[in-house]
Amino acid sequence: MRRVLFLLMFGLAGFGVLVALGSWQVQRLAWKEGVLADIDARISGAPAALPDNPDPDVNRYRPVTVTGEMRPDELHVLVSLKRVGPGYRIIAPFLTNGRMILIDRGFIPLEERDTPRALGIMEVTGNLHWPQEIDSFTPEPDTKENIWFARDVPALAEALGTEPILLIARSPTDPNITPLPVDSVGIPNDHLQYAVTWFGLAAVWAGMTGFFLWRTRARPESETA
């Protein structure tokens, strides 16, 4: 009897912990969906003027329109697009109201790296962003070949002599450059998968607990027979 009680208590405790973890992930899912909805609302908002001192936390994803001069220097960030293949993001300096900022103009295929691009006076609409793309596996940029492996805003700004402000264009800046606007698709939201995993483990735990209880109760009966 004590063994049955121990198995029952142990099984209920484990089941409760797994269900609690699944429920917590459901709550996190609701929170994350709210965060993503807020990001989408900010991304698609009406464009405003460039802030004097944009803050990476407060002004991330803020829609902005700037008018000024697209300068000729540019940096190439290696990327790959689904169903398209490898290419580069074109990062260029842009002079607006006496300030030099970075513009992420968009994507070009590898073979168009040396193709001349539109420069001069233009209006650009996009979203401010400070991407977090660097980790311990990110290679150092090949500055001689002008190949970068992440949008490290401070490093890009230093290389081009601009403020550490990146505007990712959603309006075209050249007929041969495909804009890659900011969106929330790349922001991970795996909480539903985690919740299903925890609830699945809870179901397996309950099943195994029931099986062991049945075996424990069946053994004395067989011994008695």
Whether residue 225 has pLDDT greater than 80: no
The pLDDT value recorded for residue 195 is 85
The pLDDT value recorded for residue 18 is 86
Rounded mean pLDDT of the chain? Answer: 87
Angle made by CA atoms 128, 134, 139, in degrees to the nearest 5: 130
Domain ranges of the chain: 2-39+191-224, 62-169
Here the tokens at position 37 are 């909805």
Whether residue 8 has pLDDT greater than 80: no
Q: Which residue has the tokens 């990001």?
A: 39
Q: Could you read off the pLDDT of 38-68 as tens digits, one per residue? A: 777 778 788 999 999 999 988 999 999 999 9
Whether residue 92 has pLDDT greater than 80: yes
Q: What is the pTM of this model?
A: 0.74
Whether residue 79 has pLDDT greater than 90: yes
Q: How far apart are CA 152 and CA 116, in angstroms?
A: 25
**pLDDT more than 90, % of the chain:** 55
The pLDDT value recorded for residue 220 is 56
Q: Which 3 state secondary structure label does DSSP give 57?
A: coil
**pLDDT more than 70, % of the chain:** 90
Whether residue 222 has pLDDT greater than 60: no
Give residue 143's region: left, alpha or beta (phi > 0; psi -120 to 50): alpha
Confidence of residue 165 (pLDDT cuts 50, 70, 90): very high
Whether residue 186 has pLDDT greater than 80: no
The pLDDT value recorded for residue 22 is 87
- Summarize the confidence of residues 154-173 as an average pLDDT: 96
Whether residue 219 has pLDDT greater than 70: no
The pLDDT value recorded for residue 51 is 93
For residues 15 and 126, the model is more confident at 126
- Among the ranges given (37-41, 71-75, 162-166), the one the predictor scored with the smallest mean pLDDT: 37-41
Q: How many helices (H) and strands (E) does the chain have?
A: 3, 6
Whether residue 155 has pLDDT greater than 90: yes
Here the tokens at position 76 are 């190439």
Q: Could you read off the pLDDT of 96-151 as tens digits, one per residue? A: 999 999 999 999 999 999 999 999 999 999 999 998 888 888 999 999 999 999 99
Q: How far apart are CA 48 and CA 146, in angstroms?
A: 32
Q: How far apart are CA 114 and CA 7, in angstroms?
A: 71
Q: Which 3 state secondary structure label does DSSP give 84?
A: coil
